[in-house]
Amino acid sequence: MKQRDLKYSCLIAVLYFGMNVNAQVTPKDSVQKEQKIEEVVLIGYGSQKKENVTGSIGTVSAKDLADKPNANPLSSIQGKLAGVNITNSGTPGGSPKVDIRGVGSLSGNTVFIVDGMITTDISYLSSQDIESMSVLKDPSSLAIFGAQAANGAVIIKTKTGKGKPVYSFNSYLGIKKVTNIPKMVNSDQYIELYNEKLINDTGSTTGSINRSQFPADTDWYKEIFRTSIINSNDFSATGSLGKLNYYASLGYLQDEGNLAAGRGINSGSGFNRFNSKLNLSYKITDNITIGDNFSFSKMRTDVAQNPVLTSFIAPPIFSPMNPATGDYQYFNGYSIANPRAMLDLYRSQIRQERLLNNVWGELKFLQDFTFRISYSNDNYSPSQYEYTPTLTYVPVANQVASTLVTRNFRNRNYVWDNTINWKKSLGNHNFDVLAGFSRTRTSLSQDYVSAKNVHYDGTNGSLNVANGTDLVYISGVDRSDLNINQDQQRIQSFFGRINYDYKGKYLVNASIRRDASSQVSVDRSRTFPAISAGWVISKEDFMSNQNVFNLLKLRASYGELGNPNIGRGYTANTSLIAGGAYFGNTGYPAQTIDQFINPNIGWETTTGRDVGLEMALFNNKLKIDAAYYDKDSKNVVYGVNQGTVSGAANWNNFVTNAYSFNNRGFEVSVNYNTKISDNIGLGVYGNFTSLKNEITSVYGGSYLETGASLFGNSIVRLQSGQSVGSYYGYQVTGVFQTDAEAAASGQPGAKAGWFKFEDQDGNGVIDTRDKKFLGSPIPKGTYGFGVNVNVYDFDIAVDFQGVFGNKIYNYNREQRYGNETWDLDMYNNRWHGAGTSNTNSMITSNQSIILPNSFYVEDGSYIRLRNIQVGYNLPKEFAKALSITKLRLYLSAQNPWTSFKYSGFSPEITNSDRVQMGIDNNVYPISAIYTIGMNLTF
């Protein structure tokens, strides 16, 4: 029996015996109990009662994360929190993008504080190990983390143990399927359009093609995609042994990916992860407790050469394999790769072991004081190889030797925190005072080795650079041309916070943090203050006789943050000039600086304001949280156009503290939970966030044209008054119907069938001065809503999520160089004679058609059924008869339905570059996932 079959057989066996873990809905016997428990939320370096919190903090519980088929826990909370926009990656194991109340910076990422360890990547962490999350949204909540939190912070607490031993097993098995695949033309339609293009471009049928020459009819998407398997199994044990509390877990996740692996030498796009967790705490005395939070994971990611774009443009008239030779088909006369060959003949893999360990100790003294020390290590060393054999599907004259590139990374990070906390009540005055010192260091180094003529025999062991020729080894230096980075960052901080309340009615929180960063060469230390206040109106005497509000609270906050994450690689770049220096009549090699650099790049800063209203009504059944936020990011580091400077290679991309932008909007969340009867419970939630993002200033009043481009025509323009990432090009007002109309337009070279560009300046001539902003990738609004119901032993939960007001630039569709194929919409709606179309252009290879323009800008709004799950809890008497505590079986569907207008796979676009966040350029598609799962507690 194959190993994979064995795993699935084991899963089916466990399904037979049953299981149970945290359901998505509130268990029917716990609704009233939960309403009586004071809600506590995680804040920086501690926790606080929810009703005393004066900042804006979103909370996520374990049940929001459980039983979702996601490798990264963040994917499971998409649409769950107001003010938090999560964009998922379709790539197996890929990390989603998290934007908290807009775009805070153009560099850096949201940080995660996991049991005291600060990291930007939680792909190692299983959702089953998480007890709770707090998402800090306003600068007053974030300011206690200072320089670490300019892009937002999420505090994660993993599970701990107490009491008698409890064992849990959680498992699911599912299938993944790519949905909403774009419809492309078939071979007959392609040949018709190809021949039509010849006439449009040359006025002649010379070179036309027919089916007898090209009998194939290939659906390239069917060639590269498959339905795949995802499987997860987690086991945990929790409890106490005397004074020792423990939580231990083991887990394994496998996601095969939807790219059709298994042919040639490719390794597909799969991801698998083994993870382990051990949390210990030991109470030495009543005043001294020590503990350790340990995580170890092993991950493997298969990195296929993504053929999604190539499959979009590859003509259907070619077969994947040459029927005469059995080799990969070469597309003679086309500058397009064979998608099947691309997928098969490239092999890349990333292997990573990651160890995180947090050792801590806590001492209580003088009755009201607590000293805590925590030291966290995060060590991981990914290794990657990239192998490209001799490509036999290109002409012999273009074939090159096989290449093997290996990269070995070393990441060594630590966080050392020391805090002292004083909690004291003096009559009606309650104080919680914190002071602390923190030191962090992150270091990255990389070794790069490449070789040619390495032969792959089917085993990874053969992929050894020692077996090749032309060896290149680089270590200890930065090489942007080879994507090699070496860096070390250090931050040292002092911080303090005071939480005060009077009778629980009047609340004040004030904090200050001073950070010193090695990344900044000037003004190295900065101070970041914050203050927030709250008024619990419901505790006033005049509210004592009402029975509607359990909580009515007003809050307001102000805070400042800094981001030193600007990189130190802005060193002078030089070029070698042969014969650049002359002594006598002899020229000698010389170097010249060919880029302008700013050695005095300083801090980015963020200031934010927040006003909120919280309500709990009708015995805490209905909870409403509404807020207005206003956040300014200043001195943001990025490139800017310096067109007046000559002689420098980077005249159009001078990196400095160049930009400022503002994010503001409203957010509201509503939750309603009630128990209709002893056996029926109902929960409903909804949230909505509006956002207006605007660049408020640019260095020197300039701008930057950047991002993806064709023939030097960039798509994105950063300019004051516009949103970050806004598209810039020509506004299409229709299609020229006659040559006479085109000739009178002032549009150079235009003829019937071309796009008609709007004359923005009204001077009768169409040129670059007629470009305009065509839309923003940033949503004007995001929302999520859902319902969960439990009826006796059954439960059902349904979650929806969506965005609106954003635009997508369909760069896949624009990338045309000659004989690429077309989608079915272009075939059906193209211009092919006067009156035939006023929306789609003629079929042509002319570059004027693919200038950046509004035709390629599409609506990115969507509403998605994010998750639906139906569960069954085995009655207690049956569970008891089987000597187990709880059993639950469930069926779920993730992303089974999405309503959108975009012509691509999915309107959910993830790009690593924040400036290009809405450009669809070979993006791996989102999949629908259908799972059967079970939980067992005993």
Per-residue model confidence as pLDDT tens digits over 104-123: 898 878 999 999 889 989 99
**241 in helix, strand or coil?**
strand
Q: Tell me which of 334-348, 423-437, 709-723, 737-751 is least confident.
A: 334-348
**467 in helix, strand or coil?**
helix
Q: What is the mean pLDDT of residues 279-307?
A: 95
Where does 427-536 show beta strands of DSSP type E?
429-452, 469-475, 487-502, 506-517, 525-536
> What is the model's pLDDT at position 261?
77
C-beta of residue 839 within 8 angstroms of C-beta of residue 733 = no
**390 in helix, strand or coil?**
coil
Residue from 197, 166, 281, 340 nearest 831 by CA:
197
Q: Tell me which of 1-10, 343-352, 469-478, 662-671 is least confident.
A: 1-10
Q: Residues of the chain with pLDDT > 90: what percent?
A: 73
pLDDT band at 17 (very low <50, low <70, confident <90, very high): very low
Q: What is the mean pLDDT of residues 731-743?
A: 96
The tens digit of pLDDT for each residue in 308-327 reads 999 999 999 999 998 888 88
What span, in angstroms and rounded, lies between the C-alpha atoms of 242 and 192? 80
pLDDT band at 35 (very low <50, low <70, confident <90, very high): very low
Only one residue has tokens 């128990």, namely 675
Beta-sheet pairing, 383-388 with 347-365? antiparallel
What span, in angstroms and rounded, lies between the C-alpha atoms of 375 and 364? 18
> What is the model's pLDDT at position 10?
37
Above 90 in pLDDT, residue 25?
no
> What is the model's pLDDT at position 459?
83
Only one residue has tokens 């060393």, namely 381
Q: What is the mean pLDDT of residues 526-555?
A: 94
Q: What is the mean pLDDT of residues 666-692?
A: 96
> What is the model's pLDDT at position 158?
95
C-beta of residue 672 within 8 angstroms of C-beta of residue 699 = no
How many angstroms separate the Cα of 388 from the Cα of each of 63, 262, 382, 499, 540? 45, 16, 20, 59, 72
> What φ, ψ does residue 63 adopt, rounded to 5°?
-70, -20
> What φ, ψ does residue 516 adopt, rounded to 5°?
-120, 130
Which residues are CB-contacts of 159 (< 8 A; sequence separation ≥ 6)? 62, 129, 130, 131, 236, 238, 247, 249, 279
What span, in angstroms and rounded, lies between the C-alpha atoms of 73 and 232? 13
Above 50 in pLDDT, residue 5?
no
> What is the model's pLDDT at position 571?
52
> What is the model's pLDDT at position 27?
38
What span, in angstroms and rounded, lies between the C-alpha atoms of 95 and 892? 22
Q: Provide the mean pLDDT of the chain.
A: 90
Residue from 751, 45, 815 nearest 433 by CA:
45
* Prediction pTM value: 0.90
Above 60 in pLDDT, residue 22?
no
Above 80 in pLDDT, residue 500?
yes
pLDDT band at 285 (very low <50, low <70, confident <90, very high): very high
Which residues are CB-contacts of 550 (< 8 A; sequence separation ≥ 6)? 538, 616, 617, 618, 619, 620
C-beta of residue 543 within 8 angstroms of C-beta of residue 531 = no
Above 60 in pLDDT, residue 568?
no
Residue from 373, 357, 354, 364 nearest 280 by CA:
357
Please say whether the dihedral angle defined by the alpha carbons of residues 25, 31, 37 and 38, taken in this order, is positive or negative: positive
pLDDT band at 748 (very low <50, low <70, confident <90, very high): very high
The tens digit of pLDDT for each residue in 803-816 reads 999 999 999 999 88
**Using alpha carbons only, what angle is made at residue 204 by residues 202 and 208, rounded to the nearest 5 degrees?**
105
> What is the model's pLDDT at position 290?
97
Q: What is the mean pLDDT of residues 898-924?
A: 91
C-beta of residue 913 within 8 angstroms of C-beta of residue 901 = no
What span, in angstroms and rounded, lies between the C-alpha atoms of 696 and 155? 31
How many angstroms separate the Cα of 464 from the Cα of each of 451, 459, 751, 828? 9, 10, 57, 51
pLDDT band at 587 (very low <50, low <70, confident <90, very high): low
The alpha carbon of residue 171 and the mean position of all alpha carbons in its chain are separated, in whole angstroms, by: 25
The tens digit of pLDDT for each residue in 589-625 reads 666 666 777 888 899 999 999 999 999 999 999 999 9
> What φ, ψ does residue 514 adopt, rounded to 5°?
-115, 120
Six-digit token string for 87: 């964009």
Only one residue has tokens 């030498």, namely 265
- Using only C-alpha atoms, the chain has a radius of gyration, in whole angstroms, of 30
User: What's the start-to-end Cα distance of the chain, in Å?
Assistant: 30
Six-digit token string for 151: 């892009």
> What is the model's pLDDT at position 580?
61
Above 50 in pLDDT, residue 34?
no
> What is the model's pLDDT at position 391?
82
> What is the model's pLDDT at position 572?
53
**710 in helix, strand or coil?**
strand
The tens digit of pLDDT for each residue in 788-847 reads 999 999 999 999 999 999 999 999 999 888 889 999 999 999 999 999 999 999 999 999
Element (H, E) at 12: helix 3-17
C-beta of residue 402 within 8 angstroms of C-beta of residue 452 = yes
Task: Count other C-beta atoms under 10 Å from residue 228's C-beta.
Answer: 24
Six-digit token string for 800: 């929806």
Write the burial class of residue 838 (CB in 10 Å: 0-12 exposed, 13-18 middle, 19+ buried). middle
Above 60 in pLDDT, residue 573?
no
Residue from 355, 346, 348, 350 nearest 328 by CA:
346
C-beta of residue 51 within 8 angstroms of C-beta of residue 113 = no
| Max CA separation in the chain (angstroms) | 101
The tens digit of pLDDT for each residue in 192-206 reads 999 999 999 999 999
What span, in angstroms and rounded, lies between the C-alpha atoms of 186 and 194? 12
Q: What is the mean pLDDT of residues 84-112?
A: 90
What span, in angstroms and rounded, lies between the C-alpha atoms of 235 and 278? 12
> What is the model's pLDDT at position 39?
82
The alpha carbon of residue 173 and the mean position of all alpha carbons in its chain are separated, in whole angstroms, by: 24
pLDDT band at 565 (very low <50, low <70, confident <90, very high): confident
What span, in angstroms and rounded, lies between the C-alpha atoms of 136 and 151? 10
How many angstroms separate the Cα of 763 from the Cα of each of 243, 743, 744, 750? 83, 15, 13, 17
Higher pLDDT, 655 or 687: 687
The tens digit of pLDDT for each residue in 756-772 reads 999 999 999 999 999 99
pLDDT band at 653 (very low <50, low <70, confident <90, very high): confident
- Residue-wise burial string across 420-455, b where 16 or more C-beta atoms lie within 10 A, e elsewhere: bbeeeeeeeebebbbebebebebeebbbbbbbbebe
Residue from 758, 733, 761 nearest 747 by CA:
758
> What is the model's pLDDT at position 15?
31
**932 in helix, strand or coil?**
strand
Identity of residue 818? G
Q: What is the mean pLDDT of residues 390-402?
A: 82
Residue from 812, 665, 820, 843 nearest 193 by CA:
843
The tens digit of pLDDT for each residue in 354-376 reads 999 999 999 999 999 999 999 99
pLDDT band at 29 (very low <50, low <70, confident <90, very high): very low
> What is the model's pLDDT at position 55?
92
**Using alpha carbons only, what angle is made at residue 272 by residues 266 and 274, rounded to the nearest 5 degrees?**
145
**144 in helix, strand or coil?**
helix
Query: Helix-strand-coil percent breakdown of the chain, rounded to 5?
Result: 15, 50, 35
Above 80 in pLDDT, residue 58?
yes
pLDDT band at 16 (very low <50, low <70, confident <90, very high): very low
Higher pLDDT, 679 or 580: 679
Q: What is the mean pLDDT of residues 31-45?
A: 66
> What is the model's pLDDT at position 349?
92
Strand partners, 729: 772
> What is the model's pLDDT at position 392?
75
The tens digit of pLDDT for each residue in 624-635 reads 999 999 999 999
Six-digit token string for 674: 């009630």
How many angstroms separate the Cα of 799 from the Cα of each of 153, 393, 706, 865? 24, 47, 37, 6
**560 in helix, strand or coil?**
strand
Identity of residue 325? T
Six-digit token string for 30: 């716990």
> What φ, ψ does residue 637 adopt, rounded to 5°?
-85, 120
Above 90 in pLDDT, residue 704?
yes
Which residues are CB-contacts of 487 (< 8 A; sequence separation ≥ 6)? 442, 443, 444, 567, 568, 569
What span, in angstroms and rounded, lies between the C-alpha atoms of 660 and 103? 11
